Amino acid sequence: MSPTKLGLLVCLLILNGATLAHAACLTSVTELKAEGVKARWQETTADDGKPLTIVIADGAGGLVYSASKAGEPWLTGKATVCRSGDTTTVTLNNTKATSHVPLVTRMVLPSTLSAPIVNDEIRLAGGAWRGTFVGR
């Protein structure tokens, strides 16, 4: 095989490997459970004694999430849970905050939060807010 053809073959193999590592997203709570991913997450870093609880559920267009604190709704939005290799990442998108969220927090909270699941923990951070959640 000529060096040019060998170089092209190597390039094709490298490009093919990149597409094999493409993330596969889970689309239902049933798939989450089948893959061992929790649909309920509780904050362990709440400094007020009232942990935020995030629940991922099936929605009309895929996964959605809601977050509540002390029984009051705080956040809602879309959720994605994707796997790429050995990494599973949770992304909370299109976040809408309710009036129960303090105004300063509402002003700095990004509309998207994303973090990998490591040892059944998610460490979310956005603006000045940070929280560690464990799967329940």
State mean pLDDT over 69-73: 96
Residue 63 in any domain: the answer is: yes
Q: Which domain holds residue 127?
A: 23-135
What global pTM score does this model have? Answer: 0.82
Confidence of residue 24 (pLDDT cuts 50, 70, 90): very high
CA gap 56, 81 in Å, rounded: 10
Residues 47, 67 contacting (CB under 8 angstroms)? no
- Does any domain span residue 44? yes
Inside any domain, residue 119: yes
Q: For residue 84, tell me if it sits in a domain.
A: yes
Region of 20 on the Ramachandran plot (φ > 0 left; ψ -120 to 50 alpha; else beta): alpha
In a domain, residue 17? The reply is: no
pLDDT at site 36: 94
Whole-angstrom distance, CA of residue 123 vs CA of residue 118: 9
Residue reference for tokens 């977050």: 67
> Domain for residue 56, yes or no?
yes
User: Which tokens belong to 85?
Assistant: 């290799």
Residue 3 resides in a domain:
no
Confidence of residue 21 (pLDDT cuts 50, 70, 90): low
Give the number of domains in the chain: 1
- Tokens of residue 111, six digits: 């509309």
Across-strand partners of 64?
57, 78
* 13 vs 2, higher pLDDT: 2
Q: Is residue 8 part of a domain?
A: no
Q: How far apart are CA 26 and CA 116, in angstroms?
A: 14
Q: pLDDT band for 119, please (50, 70, 90 cuts).
A: very high
The reported pLDDT for the residue numbered 8 is 38
Average pLDDT over residues 83-100: 95
